[in-house]
Structure 1
Amino acid sequence: MTDGPSYGFDTLQIHAGARPDPATGARQTPIYQTTAYVFRDADHAAALFNLQEVGFIYSRLTNPTVAVLQERLATLEGGVGAVCCSSGHAAQIMALFPLMGPGLNVVVSTRLYGGTVTQFSQTIKRFGWSAKFVDFDDLDAVKAAIDDDTRAIFCESIANPGGYITDLRAVADVADGAGIPLIVDNTSATPYLCRPIEHGATLVVHSTTKYLTGNGTVTGGCVIDSGTFDWSASDKFPSLSAPEPAYHGLKFHETFGNLAYTFHGIAIGLRDLGMTMNPQAAHYTLMGIETLSLRMERHVENTVKIAKWLEADDRVDFVTYAGLESSPYFDRVKTVCPKGAGALFTFAVKGGYEACVKLVDSLEIFSHVANLGDTRSLVIHSASTTHRQLTPEQQEAAGAAPNVVRLSIGIEDADDLIADLDQALAKAAG
């Protein structure tokens, strides 16, 4: 479809990457539940392994069902290619893997999902990498954090848990000035609400577990490549610009051009890290994406109504939703997320930590789970769960203070959700 007319989002979310199965005519993308693929002959096998021909070898690397999902996500995000993997956390490591090395660092936002903060502040040290955490509303601080060993900038388009909106174009300009890529986690926004590549991002990552799948059934992740970065402009990215010993000196950027990063993600990243998405997970996610725009419209509609109701309630100290006129990010929504500020935000409950715990335990429709982006409305007290491993200072910076609760608003009847919050707040206040 990419070679034809310019189709709308609603059409692409159903058709991009998918074709009737040539063997059976099946219209829905089949689940190719197979480990390996038969080669035509010895020369065909050799060409595939030498990266001289594109095809299927082994499902740790490529799979027809996963390939459809990769093409669909690349199309929806406006990229040239994508690599799917086993989870959002896997996608983050996959995104950094071709860029980093011992002694190198990445500059990251303080407003990130708690698990990401832990991964970047603790786990990546085992690879000899490090992260510098900066308030991305302070662009001078972002610039000051970049040094000769910085290889990327990382942020979220709509930050989890507070729903803060990042000024992607401004941050992209900083990255461009430093000659390094900007990586944007677009999980909370999805390409329906925000397309980071259009704002200057080099790479986009997703936890496909969330809104893209939308039904809480499978985990997955994806890295989408814009195809716009010149990996050979400096000597900072030898994995992509220098000879690769494992492929007899092949230079990925010289050989594959704007698809160099995508080919590296499969031929090196999936080959050696093995963070593979299984075909059944890809199938569920493909089905979820078919209704993405419809769901996101309802998510946003519900969230605006509920956030306004909470903001007017005397039992609530504040609401962080960027779709409210009181939010410092309200004007930014118009340019970064013109179709809405998403469905994720926090609110502070009068009574602090204990009141938050009582509220969570008293909700009936909202599910108390460590997830977001479901059709069901979800709630969690981040300070005692997803952000528990962080210091109090890190919790505050991330928007996960002890007195706040995170909501992921689903697509149920908004009045029912408000009634549920009302009765739970009454119990928490009591």
Structure 2
Amino acid sequence: MAHYHRDTECIHAGYQPGNGESRVLPITQSTTFRYDSAETLGKLFDLEEDGFFYTRLGNPTLDAVEKKIAALEGGVGALLTSSGQAASLISVLNICHAGGHVVCSSAIYGGTFNLFYKTMHEMGIDFTFLPADCTEAELEAAFRENTRCVFAESLCNPSLVVTDLEMFAGAAHRHGVPMIVDNTFPTPINCHPFEFGVDIVTHSTTKYMDGHAVQVGGCIVDSGNFNWKNGKFPEFTEPDESYHGVVYAERFGNMAYIVKARTHLMRDLGAQASPTNAFLLNLGLETLAVRMERHCANALAMARYLEKNDKISWVNYPGLEGNRYHALAEKYMPNGSCGVISFGIKGGREAAQRFMDHLKLASVVIHVADLRTCVLHPASTTHRQLSDAQLEEAGVGPDMIRMSVGIENIADILADVEQALAQV
């Protein structure tokens, strides 16, 4: 296939029908696949041949969508998971075990923070959390001898801090470890982390990639650029006895990381996406580029409106010229960031709740980043498990409202916000 622009690859990458075959990606709704000989099936189990034999490890529908997302991110391979949480878990667990350590941005999605802070800590993995806008010296000081990776979000949810990807990736590489970035909010349409030294990208495909709130999913994408033979990662250079001694770095080269994530962790954890969900995700991906353009235009118009409203105490959106992260956004997301903005209403938490209660077009929902405008109060929902100190470190104040601006006509969205503010 020729190398096309990303908006074209949204439609065509991953699946090319042959003569007389379905033009639309088919749903292969089957758990298993038939072979003519036990020898062939044995070779598949030993990773000596490529092919589908059980949907937990691979399926034609999933494979096509994985190839599309890998093409959009510019990676060598991808793995669909059952949720964004599963993608975050597997991306780290693939290279970090009990006794290991991770340097992590504190301004990450609340659910991811809890996964790392509680569940993975209970698994024996230690995390050092530091601000996403930390200095390079602060970042360097966080590394330890047992550090295995660095994790951050390209555009943090919901604080909208733009991470300095080159600085974080540079520090990771100086310490011989990979940089993992959750690229959910800007998507590969607006941010290309691999071009700035990032090694692994994750997504909650539930958000903009789907765009219609019809499936829960996640994805891990491997750049293929990290050197797993640098002496720090024996899981790639020593035999895996559960696969009769396969050495991932030797057998699979620059795809070692994503192959191990699939054949080891997906095999054992079973957090696979369903073929039907992959089909629905693909439909969303086909319109991702045009939707992101509308989301960003609407969000910028909303942010500018709120900036001038005397009932609003502050507005945070990287597209605003006066925003503290505007320069980084111009560097890493020159065509726009996403449709999510955050702001505070004078009067604090009570005023924020009154505002949300009077919205008519916009919905109050936990979800974010689909085509419908919606709002949320993060401190009492997605981040409610965090302490006050952790909320402050994550950039989530008690007055913060997260608004995911949809693709409705911007005049209708603005009118809805205006009438709700009149009730505050």
TM-score calculated relative to the size of structure 1:
0.97
- TM-aligned CA distance change 1:256 to 1:317, over 3 Å: same
* 1:202 maps onto 2:199 in alignment: yes
Could you tell me which residue of structure 1 aligns to residue 60 of structure 2? 64
Q: Deviations over 1:368-397 (max 9, x none)?
A: 111111000110000110010001111122
Q: Secondary structure at the match of 2:86?
A: helix
Could you tell me which residue of structure 1 aligns to residue 28 of structure 2? 32
- Runs ≥4 residues deviating over 4 A: none
Counterpart contact for 2:80–2:220, Cα < 8 Å: yes
**1:6-405 equivalences in 2 (<5 Å):** 6-20=3-17, 25-138=21-134, 139-234=136-231, 236-405=232-401
Cα distance in 1 for residues equivalent to 2:70 and 2:373: 28
Cα distance in 2 for residues equivalent to 1:162 and 1:216: 22
TM-aligned CA deviation for residue 6 of structure 1: 2.3
Cα distance in 2 for residues equivalent to 1:384 and 1:85: 28
Cα distance in 1 for residues equivalent to 2:44 and 2:69: 24
Counterpart contact for 1:21–1:30, Cα < 8 Å: no
TM-aligned CA deviation for residue 248 of structure 1: 1.7
| % identical aligned pairs | 42
TM-aligned CA deviation for residue 21 of structure 1: 6.0
Aligned Cα root-mean-square deviation (Å)? 1.1
What amino acid is the match of 1:386? Answer: T
What amino acid is the match of 1:115? Answer: G
Cα distance in 1 for residues equivalent to 2:234 and 2:216: 31
TM-aligned CA deviation for residue 137 of structure 1: 1.8
**How many aligned positions are there?**
423
What amino acid is the match of 1:278? Answer: S
Counterpart contact for 2:85–2:112, Cα < 8 Å: yes
Cα distance in 2 for residues equivalent to 1:136 and 1:213: 27
What amino acid is the match of 2:258? Answer: T
TM-aligned CA deviation for residue 238 of structure 1: 2.0
Counterpart contact for 2:200–2:221, Cα < 8 Å: yes
Cα distance in 2 for residues equivalent to 1:307 and 1:128: 42
What are structure 1's unaligned runs of at least 5 residues? none
Cα distance in 2 for residues equivalent to 1:56 and 1:153: 33
Q: Deviations over 1:50-93 (max 9, x none)?
A: 10111001011101100001000000000000011100000001
Cα distance in 1 for residues equivalent to 2:94 and 2:285: 28
Counterpart contact for 2:378–2:384, Cα < 8 Å: yes
Counterpart contact for 1:367–1:377, Cα < 8 Å: yes
TM-aligned CA deviation for residue 40 of structure 1: 2.6
